[in-house]
Every structure is written in structure tokens, then in C-alpha cells.
Structure 1
Amino acid sequence: MSANDRLTRSLPHLQNLIKRDSDAYREDFKLQYLHFESQFMELTAKPDTWNKSLAENISFVSQVAHCYPDECKGLSQMFIDVLRLYSTLLNNDVRLVIVRALILMRNRGLIDCIQLCELFFLRLLQCQDRLLRVTIQTHIINDIKKQNEKHKNNKLNSTLQNFMCTIIKESNAIAVKMALDIMVSLYRKNIWNDAKTANIIASTCFSKITKVQVAALNFFLCNNQNKDNEKDSDSDDDEKLTKKDILLGHRVGKKTSKRKKQTERALKALEKQKKKKKVEIFDYSALHLLYDAQDFAERLFRQLESSNERFEVKLLHQDFLSRLIGLHQLLLLNFYPYLQRYLQPHQRQVTKILLYVAQASHELVPPDILESICKTIANNFITERNSGEVMAVGLNTIREICSKSYLAMDQDLLIDLSKYKSYRDKSVSASARSLIQLFREKNPQLLERKDRGKPTEFQRDLVPLDYGQSKPKSYLEGAEIFQQDIDDQDEQSNDEDEQDDDQQSEEDWINVSNSDEDDELDDNDENQENGDKMETTLTEEERRERAITISSQRILTQQEFEQLKVLELKRRIQDRRRNRLEESMTDSRKRKTISIDTDSDSDDENKKNNADQNSGLITLRDIERVHKKRAHDKESRLETVIAGREGRAKFGKWKKEQGHAGTTNKEKLKNKNFQMLKPKLRNKQKRSFRDKQIALRDALLKDKRLR
């Protein structure tokens, strides 16, 4: 036997040779393929037995099938037929080898995607093999991601979505759960992020399988978002290591222009890969894509009322319903009395239920329903028989409800709650003051006169609306300042041109004038300018017209929006009577310098605190906002201790440094005669272990005799 014949007997080596030159080893492949077919026919006789030689042949044939398409034309159908007939009878390892062979052939375009998905869902998911299910799920997600990598394959996506919809309607719990997990993963990877996918996932909220219900509700509530973020951070770390390896490879070795260009190309490719992988995920975006939110909420509430599930599952239903009602401003009036019966301080997870009540509040809910809830919270929580934390939670909940619909508050109840502003507990007083501050901006007429505060410019235009009324505005308030900026820029440009002309004309002249006369002229000019500014003060109608023109003709930048926010805050804070005088004396140019002075640290904190406010939802932190000094941890305690030591002498040595300290008794013993200390030290000698045993025995015998 020749050396070449011995080498071709090794399947991995023959596989390598075939991939290099397939035509030269066609006959060797045919012989091996005949051997594979004979072994594969034996599999039908004993499907539950493990055959190592058959597994190696299956892997070999699937690896080189693309090199011989004519000889391997029926190979994929052989694998599919065996899995369809003996899916539950096959040995687990043999079945996994066949599935991996089909996945490999699918990646090389030898099998259709729909055909393989049907086989996996309809046949293989009935097997009790977790590793097989994980392999199938990973392949389907990666395959769909690969098909939509360059551009959206709408035809394939639509076909697969319809297939997933039929799978979800079946009774096989494993297949339904896997189809749901695949669609959720594809949505979060921004591959299937359309309304059709969101509504198919929403249909699983009515499944009879509890695990499927919980998975669908968690998807809409974004409860598993942290896990995805951790995975993304891990992938980012891998990318950083890859960039580090590229730079390290360029640093080591000979420096040439060719290697430098290769490194630059590798870094550019890495940056493109990062941009593709980093996908912006909008929280709760799936809630906006539901076709008929009102009908969906009504069906889900009927399911909640008749549900016998655990309390945690009911909480998920309540959370989802409250977010849906608050986001779409739905009318589901029976939902509020349903939550009202849980509003007791001893109720388990009561803070979450209070959060759901606040989330479900909006302007279109009839005020009498929300007013009844506010009174229930006040009677059960805001009483002196409860602790300060319970009272603060109740006040914060009422504040959040009234921030969505201020008509829910009765004047008598508001006056009673505002009296807690001087309560002995700081958390209660702070919550009451926040409620007062809210109604100063919403409807100050409901407050007592002493609680209304100073009148501001914002309160001048404030007109409380009744239920069902609205006052839309077609312009941005304060936008007239940008028209003044344009005028100021034109004036500055004109002044600069005039100054240039004056300088050119005065180059040949030397002006000599008295300093006193110059000062008088400057004072006259300033007075004249102030008078001109007083005359050019805009009226309310002129400001409104300018604001309308600016809002309709310009696209404002982010910096200009920040200026409008600062101007609105100024109108909310400044005294109306004082502001009238200041407005007539201030220069319009000073308005350009208004900016938000914030540090980077405070910006990060504001982003964290306002992330959920931007999404229109209330967080549990807003309900549990208890103003209490938290206990220090070890690091903060050390910081305070070290800060307190600054500016004073070191502890324990200040007397010696001053030179007036005496010696201790221990130091005095060193200078005494040993004969004086000998009797004292003899008594303090350490006893041996034997002496201790004897003393213990004597003590036990003595104790026994005394008894």
C-alpha cells in the first residue's frame, strides 16, 4: 500500500485534500460515500445505538458536500427523512450530529431555510434534549440575522413570521416557547422590529401556558433588558481586545509602509463592525406598535380578572396594563376599582401597586374615579397611626397621580394634605411640599393663600382647564428671542463695517479732546441707548407674532431648545411684579448668554434620573422617595474620619511633640530594679498545658462535690 493510500484513509486528511483539489480526489470520495451509504442504511435498523464510525462519516460527507453537488444531490433529503421518521427514536448524539450536518449544509446554501425550520419545529422539538433545542435556536437566530445583514430580506422575513405565527397557535409548549424566544431575540437585535412581530408576540400574552405568558409580558415590560446589556458589554470588551491586538501586532516587528496600511485598514474595518453591532434600542417601543391597544387591553383585563395564577404573574399583568393605559391614554374604567381593593399598607408589594395606579392615570380618565382613589390612599396611608415612610409613599403616589391629572384632587383634601408640610418626619414634610409645589404650577387656586407663593410670570398665563378641554399652541413660547439675536447680529455686522470705514477715513487725522467732555458724551450716549431700548420693548402681541414666525420658518437647534428651557424655568421662578421692572431695563443682547451651567457628573446623574421620565413612565423610585439620611458604608465613614483629622496634630503624639508629656507605667517598669519586680512577675508566669489540665480537673471535682 502506497503512502498516499494510507493518508487518504484518514477522513480529516482526506477532507483537507478534497477542499484543496476536489477533482483529483473524486474517486476517493465516491468510495467513501458508498461506505457512508451502507452504514447509513444500518441506522434505520438500529436507530437508538451509537455508532462512532457513522458519526465521523456524516461529518465528513457534510463538510465536502459542496465540492461534489452532483454526487451529493440527495444527501440533505436522506438526513431530513431519517429525522422525520425516527426523530424520537434516534440516539441523542447521532441525532445531534445529523442536525449539525444539516446546519452546515444550510450555511453553505444547500438547503432552503423554510424547509429546515419546518423540520426543526414540527419534529425535533418533541425530543427531550436540551442541547439540541439550544443548537436549533442559536442556528435559526444566526441564520435570519445573516440573511438580513446587508439589506432587509422582506420576502423571507414575511414567510418566516407567518410560520412562527402558526407555531405559536399550536399546543406544543416547547415549540411555542422557542418561537417566542426567537422572535424576542430578533426584535431586540433590531432585525424584526416591525409592528407584525410585536403583535405576534402580543398574541402570546393570552396563551394558556404560564411560562409563555410571563415571557411575553417581560418582553413588553423590558424586564430582561439588563441581561442583554451585559451581553453587549461583553461583546464590546472583546472588540477592545481585538483593537489592542491589532495595535500590538503593528508595534512588534519591522516597521514598513505596507504593514502600516494593513493596520489602518484593519482598524477601519473594526470601526465599521462596531457601528453595525451597536444598535439603538428604544425602551417600550413595542407598546407603540400594537394595532388595537384598546381591544387588547380589554381582553387582557378580562384574563386578569378570571386568572388563578400566582400573585407575581398578576402583578406582571397589572404592570403591563397600567403602562398600556397611560401610554395610549386608554379608557378602562374597571381597572381602577380592581386596583383600589389592594391599596392597604399591609398588602404585599403595595408600592408596586401604587406605582401601577399612578402609571394608569391620565387626563382622559374621569376625575371622580381618580378622586376616589386619592381619598382611599389618603385614608389608608396618610394617617398618623402609620409610620413616616408609609405616609410619604402615600403622598408621593397622590402627587404622581395629580401630575398626570390635577383634576383628581379635591380642594378640601389638598388643604388637609398641605398641612403635613410642617410634620416632624422629614420625608413626610418633603413629600407634602412637593405636592404644594405641583399645584402652584397646575392650579394654585386650590391652595390656601399662604401656600400659593409669590406670583410668577408662568402663573400669569396659567388657565386651569376643565375635564375634556385642551389648549393647543401653534408656536414655541419664548422663540421671539431668536429673532432678536438675528437683529443684533445684523446690527453688529453693520457697526463693524462702519468702524472699518471710520478707521480708513481717520488714518490721516489726529483728534485731541478733553477727557471731561468725553465722559459727558459717553453718559449721554448711554442714556440715549437706554431710552431707545425702553421704546423698543415688545408688547405681548408682537412677541407672539414673532414667536409664530420663528416656529414656522426655522428648525431650532438643540442649544436653542436649551435656551427655551432656561427661559421657561426663569418664568416659573421669577417674581411677576419684580420681573416687569427688570424686563424693561435689561438688554436684549444678554439673553444670548443664557446657558445651562452643569458639570459632567451632574449631567450623568440627571440622565440616570430622567431616563424613565423621558419615556413617559413613572419609576418606583418616585413612589418610594423617602428623605432620610442613609447609613454610611465603610468607605464613606473613612472619608469623614480623614476629613475630620485635617488641621490638627496627629492622634496620640501631641503631648510628646509639645515636650510636656510624662512616662507611662510600662515605661517606668523598664528602669526599675529586677529584684523589685521579681515577686510580681513570678505570679504572672504562664502555666503549662499540664497545669491547666490539673486545675480544670480539680475544679470539676470540687463542683461535683458541691452538688
Structure 2
Amino acid sequence: MPGNDRLTRSLPHLQNLIKRDPDAYREDFKLQYLHFESQFMELTAKPDIWNKSLAENISFVSQVAHCYPEESKGLSQMFMDVLRLYSTVLNNDIRLVIVRALILMRNRGLIDCISLCELFFLRLLQCQDRLLRVTIQTHIINDIKKQNEKHKNHKLNSTLQNFMYTIIKESNAIAVKMALDIMIDLYRKNIWNDTKTANIIASTCFSKITKVQVAALNFFLCNNQNKDKEKDSDSDDDEKLTKKEILLGHRVGKKSAKRKKKAERALRTLEKQKKKKKVEIFDYSALHLLYDPQDFAERLFRQLETSNERFEVKLLHQDLLSRLIGLHQLLLLNFYPYLQRYIQPHQRQVTKILLFVAQASHELVPPDILQSICKTIANHFITERNSGEVMAVGLNTIREICSRCYLAMDEDLLHDLAKYKSYRDKSVSASARSLIQLFREKNPQLLERKDRGKPTEFQRDLVPLDYGQSNPKSYLEGAEILQQHIDHQDQQSDNEQQDQLSEQDWIDVSHSDNDDDDVDDNEEEDDDDNNEENNNQQQDHKQENIDKMEKEMTEEERRERAISISTQRILTQHDFEQLKIIEMKKRIQDRRKNRLEQSISDTGKRKTISIDTDSDSDNENNKNSQENLGLISLKDIERVHKKRAHDKESRLETVIAGREGRPKFGKWKKEKGQAGTTNKEKLKTKNFQMLKPKLRKKQKRSFRDKQIALRDALLKDKRLR
């Protein structure tokens, strides 16, 4: 035993020696292993008692077990048997030490992944130990991630997914929640991002356990990603505070080279931490991977109708249902009357409910249902007894519904809503004008004649469709004039090449006189101005040719030319940008020939329309023309047009601009020719409590004192004159 005590006391040293030379210390390991077995047998008699020596021996043998595979052949099985038999009665610290030993042996390939997962889920998750559950969950995620680093291990993934599915069907709430969290984490890390994982998670939306149900709904709604962003922003703020503390500590203390290097090292570490970013998934790909979205939505709606959960959980159900209906264009007609009951201005979270109504709208929904919802919104929100914000929210909701299904609007209702364009509240008038602009592009005939605006080229080919109709086209609109742009670009490139060749023939001569340099600079500036004028003239000439070609071509010629261009050549990204610019121009240009020709003849040239295809503002303007692409944001419903608050830079600019032409601030000095203020004027600005004793004294004066004061005042006035 003295030798055993000596080895026990020096276990870290022996562990280091064994890892360096396993063969030289084989006998020492056998001796220590026998001591470990004798202590481990005592654990079965008293499993609930903490034994520090046993914990050190467990860590030691698990660290060096890979060096002696023959001697430690049954070590893992020994650990697993103890956990199976005494999982709930074991001491918490001893149990955690054994679990960490098994994880270490699994990382070194001494234990199978499936058997270890079965042990963890079936036995250990019944224990009331949060640290143990966190350790197990972290290990399983990291282990599966490690197995799929180089390539996808489909066999292991399929086996583990089937095992997770069996765990989810059980009634153990802790095991089900952990299995769901593991699958969600692996999906977001792009390890298990297949249809099988998405549908297993979808099955948990119907779980009887509320926590599991909410976690699955939040996964499909991507709500947890926003929380992760908030946590990342909070951590960035903490890093900024830490940076300030580092700089402050270096500034306050004694200056030395050692402390300076330490501060620089800490700052470099913070910069490295900021550069590390997690993989972010912003799409809703899981909703596209469902096997049967219609059946899933119907089951989810039945669960919503019979649910007794909190209102927040019901909102999650409504949100997911609306996204499914809008994304897959499902028909769930009972969902709209269900939401219609909640459309009241005093309803809690009413803006979210309005958002759900807009998300669930699409072209295949019968117009009668959506017309009823639009009338309900107009009756409850768009009335003068409500505030401007409430009216703007109602108008924005109707606009978003009509942008997805313009048949939801009745002609009489549209005429009433269009009259709010001149309402006294700016937010209401702006929302009404956006609704009018939407129907100018969707169906101008529903608007009154004064609200239709000028007829544009875009409205020439606009044919409003009835319910169930479609107008598919075999060519790209606007491609008929795409060849004209390409020919002009080729000609322009040829001209540029000729200009470059002609410039190479000239020889630059340097002058020593400054006057000559000034003359050359002026000549170069004149040449640049002439080149700009020539380019502008070429662009105007090009635009006039395109306009003439558009007028001369008939509808059949346009169609044939567009089909030939779309089928004969492969369009590039630049071509699609040109088509987008052409479409935007059609929305602006007046289609009446006489007005167009008059504007060209009066000005001599036509103004070019510059469109930035990459700007965010164009994306917002074109959002109404996109059908069922993406989801609606809550900002679109709650958008209230008010004067935005200035940021610090713009506020400083206004302050500095206001100081221009004004004397410098500071103590006022009397200038020549200016008189100061009198005592009577100063009394007007004084506090009444300061004047109260003086006024009280005046009230107590006798008639004789008043006569003397009046006499003195008159004499003083006479002397001054």
C-alpha cells in the first residue's frame, strides 16, 4: 500500500510519463489499475458518497487507456454498467466524472457513438442535474459535427436520426427537448439540413409538451436567430467595455514596456474574437422541405382551434400558418374567419395579427373572403374616430393584401380609401397614396379618373385578370429593344478603341515655362468638356432612336422580335439589368405620342432616366410588383410617415449652419451708440419674490411720503431736460 499511496499522490506526473513512453511504465499502470478496480468495487456499495481518490483514479485511467488497450479492454463497459444500474442514485460529482471519462474515451475512438447516445438518452437524462445535461448535449453536437467534417457520414446520420425520432415519440420531456435542441442546432450548422430532419422537427409541433411545441414553432419561424443576434450584439458591447478598461488601466498605472506589451496582447485578442462570426441562416428553407405542407397546415390549424395555451403560443401558430399558406399558396379557408375575430384596434398584438392576414393572402384565395377582411379592417381602423397611426396601419395592411391579391379590393371601398390622400395627418395621406400607386400598376380601371394618373407605357400591356386566370408568356418583355442597346455599346467600344489608337500617335512634350503649363491645362479642360458634351449628345441621340423604334414597331413585331432575341442568345446579368431599367422606364414614360413628341420638340432633347439597379430604394418601390416572393416585415404594416430624428452628424451640421452670419456667443458687450436697459425694464425679468419686500414697502408709505417722492421725481426729470 505505501507504493500505491505514492503513485496516487503523483498521478499527474505518472500520467505525463506514460504518455511519453507507455512501454516503460506498463507495470506502474497495472499496479495503479488494480488499485482503481478495488476502489471502483467499493462504489457499488456506497454510490451516493463522494470519493476524491476514486475521482482522480477515474480521470487517470481514462486519460491513458488508449496507451494500453489490452489492459483497459473492459474499462468503458465497466463505466457504462455502473451508469445503467446506479444512474439516479450516484453522487452528482462522481457521475459527472464518469460521464466526462466516457466522453474522453469516445473522442479517442474507444467507444461506439450509437451505444453512448443510447446510454445518455435512456438513462442519464432522467437525473435532475442541469450541468450533466449541458455536458451531454454539447458532446453529442460536437461529436456529430466531427464525424461530418470531411464528408457526410450518411450511414451514421441516418441511424442517429432514426434514434432521435424514437426519442421524440417518448413521454420523457427532458429527453424530447434535448433531442429537438440537438437536431435544431445541427440543422442551423448545415450538418443535418435535409428533408428528414426538417420533417422530424415538424412532427414535434404537435407535441403535448408546451416547451417542445414552442421550440419547434420558433425553429420554423427563425425566431431564435434574432435572439442569437442580440446576444452577439451584447457580447460586442462587453468587448468594447473591456477594451476601454484595458486602455484605462494602461494609462493610469505605471508606464513600463512589460505592461505596454500586455495591453497590446489583450487588444489583439479582442480583435480576433470580433472577427469570429457564426454561420447565419436567414432563409426559411425548412418550410420548403416539408413533405405535405397542406396536411401539415390543416393539422396545425385544428390544434390551434382546440388549444388552451397562452395567447403568445397561439400567435406562434398563426404566424407559422400564415407563412405556410403564403409560401406554398395553400387553401385553408377557415383560417381567415378565425383571424377576422381578432381584428380590433384594442386587441393585444393586433399589428402582428394584421401581418398574418397579409402573409396568408395570395391569388388563389377566393376574392369574397379577402374582400370581407378588407371591409372589416376599413370599418374598424380607417375611421376618423381613431388616431392617425391606427388609420395608417389599416391602410398599410390593405395595401399589402392587395399587392398579393388585387381582387380583394372592391371598387366602392377603393374610392372611399383614395379620398384619404388629402387627409390632414401625413401618415394617413402617404398610406392612401401608396394604395393608389399600387392600383395604378395593378388595375387602374378601379380608380377614379382623377386618381389614375398619366397613362404610361407599362399600362399598355396591362390586362387585369379574373380569379383563376393566368397569362403566361414565352418571351421576356422588353427584349425587343435589347439588341439596340447592344449595338450601341459595340459601336461605343469601337469608337473608344479608335480614340486610344489615335492618342498613341501623339508625342507628349514637356514645357519648362509655367505659362505654357497653364495653357495646356486649360486646353485639356476644354477637351474634357467637349468630350462630355459629345457623350451627352450621343446618349440623347441613342435615346431618340430607341423611342422612334418603339413607336414604329407594332405589337406583333414587338412580340416576334422579343421571341427571337430570347431564344437565339443567352442573356447575361447585364442584359437582365437592362431589362429591369426598360421596365422602370415604362412605368414612368407617358404613352401618349403627342405629349412625348411635344416634350422632345420643346426641349430639343429628352431627359435620360437614371436608375440604380442595386439600390435598396428601388427594391422597396418594386416590392409591390413582386408576387409571393419573400415574406412581409412588420415594419411594412407599422410604417408611419413621420419626420425622422436627426442623428448626431446631421444635427451638428444644422447647428453649424445656424451659426453662420451670427456674432460669436459669449458675454454680451455694449456697442457704441447703444443704450443699456433701465431699472424698470429689469424689474420685468426679476422673480416676484425678489420684488415682494419693495412692493410691500411702497404700499405702507404715507400720503406725505408719496408727495415728497413725486416732487423729487419731477425735479430730477426737469434737470435732465
Query: Quick check: 1:627 aligned with 2:609?
Result: no
- Three-state SS of the structure 2 residue aligned to 1:218 is helix
1:617 is aligned to 2:631: yes
The equivalent of 2:26 in structure 1 is 26
CA deviation after TM superposition for structure 1 residue 625, in Å: 1.4
Shift of the 150–416 alpha-carbon distance from structure 1 to 2, 3 Å rule, reads same
CA RMSD of aligned residues (A): 4.3
User: Are 2:326 and 2:628, in contact at CA under 8 Å, matched by a contact in 1?
Assistant: no
Offset, 1:478: 2.1
Amino acid at match of 1:574: Q
Instruction: Verify: 1:648 aligned to 2:662, yes or no.
Output: yes
In the superposition, the TM-score normalised over structure 1's length comes to 0.78
Range moving further from structure 2, 531-540 or 329-338 = 531-540
Aligned partners of 1:562 and 1:595 also within 8 Å:
no
1:101 aligns with 2:101: yes
Matches within 5 A, 1:305-704: 305-491=305-491, 539=553, 540-577=555-592, 581=597, 595-596=611-612, 616-629=630-643, 640-653=654-667, 655-656=669-670, 660=674
Which residue pairs with 2:80 in the alignment? Answer: 80
Counterpart of 1:361 in structure 2: which amino acid? S
Q: CA deviation at 1:472?
A: 1.6
Cα distance in 1 for residues equivalent to 2:230 and 2:68: 44
Residue of structure 1 equivalent to 2:284: 284
Q: Which residue of 2 aligns with 1:246?
A: none
Counterpart for residue 154 of structure 1:
154
CA contact (8 A) 2:355 2:634 kept: yes
C-alpha separation between the residues in 2 aligned to 1:139 and 1:575?
Answer: 66
> Does residue 121 of structure 2 align to residue 111 of structure 1?
no
SS at match of 1:224: helix
Judged with a 3 Å threshold, the aligned counterparts in structure 2 of structure 1 residues 345 and 8 are, in CA distance, closer, same or farther, namely closer
Which amino acid is 2:588 matched to?
I
Partner AA of 1:425 in structure 2: D
Match of 1:262 in 2: none
Q: Which digits, 9 at most, give the CA deviation of each residue in 1:5-64, with x for residues without a partner?
A: 967850001000000000000000000000000111100000100000000000000000
State how far apart, in whole Å, the 2-side matches of 1:363 and 1:221 are: 23
Q: Is contact 2:4-2:32 (8 Å) kept?
A: no
2 CA distance for matches of 1:419 and 1:179?
A: 56
Partner of 2:196: 196
Deviation at 1:531, TM superposition (A): 11
Deviation at 1:646, TM superposition (A): 3.1
Q: What amino acid is aligned across from residue 415 of structure 1 in structure 2?
A: H
User: Which stretch shows the higher mean deviation, 564-573 or 39-48?
Assistant: 564-573
Equivalences, count: 615
Give a deviation string over 1:354-379, Cα, whole Å, max 9, x none.
11111100000000000111111111
Instruction: Give distance in 2, aligned partners of 1:180 and 1:400.
Output: 35
Give the Cα–Cα distance (whole angstroms) in 1 for the partners of residues 161 and 599 of structure 2: 62
Deviation for aligned residue 1:304: 0.4
- Asked if structure 1 preserves the Cα contact closer than 8 Å seen for 2:362 and 2:628, the reply is no
Q: Within 1, Cα distance between the matches of 2:494 and 2:648? A: 64
Code of the residue aligned with 2:659 in structure 1: it is R
Give the SS at the match of 1:53.
Answer: helix
Task: Name the structure 1 match of 2:42.
Answer: 42
**Alpha-carbon spacing, 1:153–1:659, altered in 2? closer, same or farther (3 Å):** farther
Equivalent-residue separation in structure 2 for 1:152 and 1:95 (angstroms)? 33
Q: Per the alignment, do residues 460 and 58 of structure 1 end up closer, same or farther by CA in structure 2, a change over 3 Å counting?
A: same
Shift of 1:655: 3.9
Name whichever of 420-429 and 37-46 sits farther off.
420-429
**Structure 1 portions without partners, runs of 5+:** 242-251, 253-269, 505-521, 666-679, 681-707
1:228: Cα distance to partner? 3.1
> In the superposition, relative to structure 1, how do residues 19 and 503 fare at CA in structure 2: closer, same or farther (>3 Å)?
closer
CA contact (8 A) 2:403 2:627 kept: no
Aligned equivalent of 2:64: 64
Moved more, 126-135 or 569-578: 569-578
Deviates more, 1:59-68 or 1:638-647: 638-647
TM-score computed with the length of structure 2 as normaliser: 0.76
| 8 A Cα contact 1:141 1:182, kept in partner | yes
- CA positional deviation for 1:502: 12
Q: Which residue of 2 aligns with 1:179?
A: 179
How has the CA–CA distance of structure 1 residues 66 and 378 changed in structure 2, closer, same or farther, with 3 Å as cutoff? same
Please give the residue correspondences for 1:217-296 in structure 2 after superposition, counting only pairs within 5 Å.
Answer: 217-229=217-229, 279=279, 281-296=281-296
Change (3 A) 1:150 1:239: farther
Instruction: Tell me by how many angstroms 1:660 deviates.
Output: 4.9
1:481·1:591 contact (CA, 8 Å) conserved in 2?
Answer: no
Structure 1 residues 101 and 424, CA, compared in 2 at 3 Å: closer, same or farther? Answer: same
Task: Tell me the secondary structure at the aligned position of residue 302 of structure 1.
Answer: helix
After superposition, the Cα gap between the structure-2 partners of 1:500 and 1:96, relative to the gap in structure 1 and judged at 3 Å, is: closer
Give the conservation status (yes or no) of the 8 Å contact 1:40–1:54: yes
- The 3 A distance-change label for structure 1 pair 549 and 654 is farther
Deviations 1:637-666 (A, max 9, x none): 66644442233112344645778575999x
Contact conserved, 1:7 with 1:13, CA < 8 A, in 2?
no
Q: Distance in 2 between matches of 1:370 and 1:305?
A: 21
Deviations 1:665-696 (A, max 9, x none): 9xxxxxxxxxxxxxx9xxxxxxxxxxxxxxxx
The AA in structure 2 aligned to 1:644 is: G
For residues 111 and 167 of structure 2, what CA distance do their matches in structure 1 show? 21
Tell me the residue number matched to 1:92: 92
Q: Compared with structure 1, are the counterparts of its residues 501 and 631 closer, same or farther at alpha carbon in structure 2 (3 Å cutoff)?
A: closer
Superposition deviation, residue 387 in structure 1? 1.7
- CA distances 1:258-294 after superposition (whole Å, capped 9, x unpaired): xxxxxxxxxxxx99xx99x764624211111111000
- CA 1:582 to 1:551, structure 2 compared with 1: closer, same or farther past 3 Å? farther
Q: 2:59, 2:676 → 1: CA distance?
A: 89
* Deviations, residues 543-593 of structure 1 (Å, cap 9, x unaligned): 4334334434545444433332222121111211258549999xxxx9999
Compute the displacement of 1:351 (Å).
Answer: 1.0
Q: Contact 1:563–1:594 (CA<8 Å) still a contact in 2?
A: no
* Gap change, CA 1:636 and 1:592, over 3 Å in 2: closer
- Residue 70 of structure 1 aligns to a residue whose secondary structure is coil
Q: Give, as a single letter, the amino acid of the residue that structure 2 aligns with 1:334.
A: N
**Contact 2:426/2:642 (<8 A) preserved:** yes
Please say if 1:142 is aligned against 2:139. Answer: no
Moved more, 629-638 or 333-342: 629-638
- 1:592 and 1:351 map into 2 onto residues whose CA distance is 42
Cα distance in 1 between the residues matched to 2:662 and 2:94: 78
Distance 1:111 1:148 in 2: 18
Aligned equivalents of 2:388, 2:590: Cα separation in 1: 34
Asked if structure 2 preserves the Cα contact closer than 8 Å seen for 1:483 and 1:546, the reply is no
Asked whether the equivalents of residues 283 and 615 of structure 1 are also in contact (C-alpha less than 8 Å), the reply is: no
